[in-house]
Structure 1
């Protein structure tokens, strides 16, 4: 260990720009064993590991780095999987530059350990060697839990509860398991076989999936009350799918589309599906403008490049240093030919029936707001125009109105529309109904959803156990 003084940071090799622009395959090649061991050996084995502290899952990162450096890869996988339900996903899509790697103590002067790449290497090796097995329960329990949503929060809760022996049923309105990991995140960041491989393991574990099964009060949907009657407890991990709007003239023109629609159509094509009349959701030959600066915006601009857009421009109201998305993603997008117009925001979409241009104006950074982040203000008389045939709104996501959709007036929500839970807990205002992930936090990271799912499973286990004990005492 402690090789950071003599060994430089080395990321896995990227595929050539021309090659990766032509398909949706992941852009990083795999580490060889020797290189993974070398990079893991750069860890300083801190007494207080800030990488673990800043990991939402509290992963024991120095431990599995040390085991990797010593070529004890099966043990490294066991340690990694002990705290993370989906290490193969986090190694690919976590913004390590803002979490573990960004807080690595050798970052100042020596560049951080490539934690994400080593995590991916460990897990892929484990799958290749057959070390990844379904986490079968030691004993079966009679109680059952219904999970609403097959995204990362729901799947993490399902895996933990099934490992404890509960009969777990997962309900999802979509036809595939994974939530936004399948239909939101492009394959060049997370190839879909990675999710389907984990889905197969969860089924081997005994989890029952009910796909294309929406929960709600509309005809053909399963009412929430029926779900509560069917199961001893319910966990809601539906995520947030309602796209935020940009309120400017022309927003209703043809060719102005939400990011989730654009990305879902693209990912469905990756499954060799025809999403229907989706020509308006394809960037081929078009001048594309993406509004926003988060990771979803980066997904949209890089998808547009791969679909053969004529030009791709990203408008964001702050500068490069203040954007919310991963800087690594910005770098990848720039390499692939995306043009960024920083400190700019749309003021109108132009066109008669279909959009033909975006009129925007310049912004400038001002004093910090209450959060400490610099606010922005418009620059007077600074309008300019960007030609566009397709405009993608990537301004983030809000929760759907679940109490209204589910006719559950007693299901309390916050002023932001997220489900209300007690601080530090996961039970909602409905007894026996728990929630976690984005539907509680608001739009956040996959790794936080996994953390919530695991923690909620522990609370559900305690709740069901306490009820069972109380019923036993009453019977006596």
Structure 2
């Protein structure tokens, strides 16, 4: 890129993503960020100056070729951009929404030294959504079968990712999920207003179209052990059972009625649709005054969910300062608003 074009790109202001008004979103579980328009996406992508040494790639845990897919968006090639991302990341619509980009790729963005960093995560979300909404999702050409079979235990983000990568290598893959639906924490832990369940279901269906077999309500250890899988048809087993058990504080009263772990609370609301009780079978106590201990992303998810159940108040109790809260700044701001 010549210096003149680089200077012109540096003048482009960061694009603000439209979102639901705070007074409206507290009444519903719809996604809060509404997404870039095509014009906004092109302008935001043009803010990338195509560095000779793109630190953003190293800042990405899966090393997405970020400058390449951003330039494709800048050229209006949205579907091609999504496919470029998928070469490294099988869950772009998910990661574009929930990955902490501000601590990864965007943190080391060169543009961010003088101006706001390029909104890499929002652009990843944009191109993945565009591909899906325009019916352009296609199955990549897969290699011939290796004859090897892989069992994946747990259909959360790790299991889904491994399954996708194994299929791309030509292996036969079967996913075993203990719950009644695949997705793991993406389904039961992250609220609808941050990650719509239709997005997760679309990613799961994409894997099935690639040839991954998924068996739900299958608790490995009860129906089969790992050793039995390996002694049977499978050449390898990946265990991605997640961190489903919560840690309690071991304080007086934590076993009282109305005290939930964030894990149980979010599962009741997200997966079992407790907020629609009695239309759905699982209830959840709607406290008049709700207190959440902790200030990470899970705490913010619980607090923002509680707000939507119409209490008198929701408070977060945290042992450190506002500046030290580990949750994403965007999530904190949405909670405060």
User: Which SS does the other structure have where 2:271 is aligned?
Assistant: helix
User: Which SS does the other structure have where 1:12 is aligned?
Assistant: coil
Report how far residue 248 of structure 1 moved.
1.7
**TM-score, normalized by length of structure 2?**
0.93
Report how far residue 134 of structure 1 moved.
2.5
Q: 2:319 aligns with which of 317, 320, 330?
A: 317
Q: 2:164 aligns with which of 154, 159, 166?
A: 159
Aligned-partner Cα distance in 1 for 2:83–2:226: 37
Determine which structure has greater relative contact order: mean sequence separation of CA pairs < 8 Å that are 6+ residues apart, divided by chain length.
Answer: 1
Q: 2:134 aligns with which of 124, 129, 133?
A: 129
Aligned-partner Cα distance in 2 for 1:214–1:269: 19
User: Which SS does the other structure have where 1:83 is aligned?
Assistant: coil
Structure 1 equivalent of residue 102 of structure 2 = 97
- Contact 2:19–2:35 (Cα < 8 Å) also in 1: no
* Higher-Rg member (1/2): 1
- Contact 2:186–2:195 (Cα < 8 Å) also in 1: yes
Structure 2 equivalent of residue 377 of structure 1 = none
User: Which SS does the other structure have where 2:50 is aligned?
Assistant: coil
- Contact 1:11–1:114 (Cα < 8 Å) also in 2: no
- Contact 2:268–2:284 (Cα < 8 Å) also in 1: no
Report how far residue 276 of structure 1 moved.
4.5
Report how far residue 99 of structure 1 moved.
1.5
Distance change >3 Å, CA 277–CA 77, structure 1 → 2: closer
Q: 1:295 aligns with which of 284, 290, 297?
A: 297
Superposed CA deviations along residues 184-213 of structure 1, whole A, max 9, x for unmatched, are 000111000001111111111111111000
Aligned-partner Cα distance in 2 for 1:166–1:80: 22
User: Which SS does the other structure have where 1:279 is aligned?
Assistant: coil
Q: 1:248 aligns with which of 241, 247, 251?
A: 251
User: Which SS does the other structure have where 1:106 is aligned?
Assistant: helix
More strand by share: 1
Aligned-partner Cα distance in 1 for 2:176–2:147: 19
Report how far residue 11 of structure 1 moved.
2.5
Superposed CA deviations along residues 344-378 of structure 1, whole A, max 9, x for unmatched, are xxxxxxxxxxxxxxxxxxxxxxxxxxxxxxxxxxx
Structure 2 equivalent of residue 20 of structure 1 = 25
Aligned-partner Cα distance in 1 for 2:79–2:252: 57
Aligned-partner Cα distance in 1 for 2:120–2:258: 40
Aligned-partner Cα distance in 2 for 1:290–1:21: 17
Distance change >3 Å, CA 122–CA 277, structure 1 → 2: closer
Report the RMSD for the aligned CA atoms in angstroms.
1.8
Report how far residue 233 of structure 1 moved.
0.7
Aligned-partner Cα distance in 1 for 2:302–2:99: 17
**TM-score, normalized by length of structure 1?**
0.66
The 5 Å alignment of 1:330-341 reads: 330-335=332-337
Distance change >3 Å, CA 95–CA 232, structure 1 → 2: same
Aligned-partner Cα distance in 2 for 1:51–1:279: 42
Aligned-partner Cα distance in 2 for 1:239–1:111: 34
Q: 2:238 aligns with which of 235, 238, 250?
A: 235
Is residue 223 of structure 1 aligned with residue 225 of structure 2? Answer: yes
- Contact 1:50–1:100 (Cα < 8 Å) also in 2: yes
- Contact 1:97–1:328 (Cα < 8 Å) also in 2: no
Superposed CA deviations along residues 114-147 of structure 1, whole A, max 9, x for unmatched, are 1111111111111123332233523123221110
The 5 Å alignment of 1:367-386 reads: none
Is residue 109 of structure 1 aligned with residue 114 of structure 2? Answer: yes
Aligned-partner Cα distance in 1 for 2:256–2:227: 40
Superposed CA deviations along residues 268-315 of structure 1, whole A, max 9, x for unmatched, are 3449787745333xx3x5200000111000100000011112100001
Instruction: Could you tell me which runs of 5 or more consecutive residues in structure 1 were left unpaired when the two chains were aligned.
Output: 336-476
Q: 1:329 aligns with which of 323, 328, 331?
A: 331
After TM superposition, the structure 1 stretch with the greater mean CA deviation from structure 2, 1-10 or 194-203, is 1-10
Is residue 142 of structure 1 aligned with residue 147 of structure 2? Answer: yes
Q: 2:185 aligns with which of 161, 174, 180?
A: 180
Structure 2 equivalent of residue 169 of structure 1 = 174
Superposed CA deviations along residues 310-340 of structure 1, whole A, max 9, x for unmatched, are 10000111112222211111111111xxxxx
User: Which SS does the other structure have where 1:63 is aligned?
Assistant: helix
User: Which SS does the other structure have where 2:69 is aligned?
Assistant: helix
Superposed CA deviations along residues 83-142 of structure 1, whole A, max 9, x for unmatched, are 111111111111122122222222233111111111111111111233322335231232
Distance change >3 Å, CA 6–CA 277, structure 1 → 2: closer
Aligned residues: 329
Structure 1 equivalent of residue 265 of structure 2 = 262
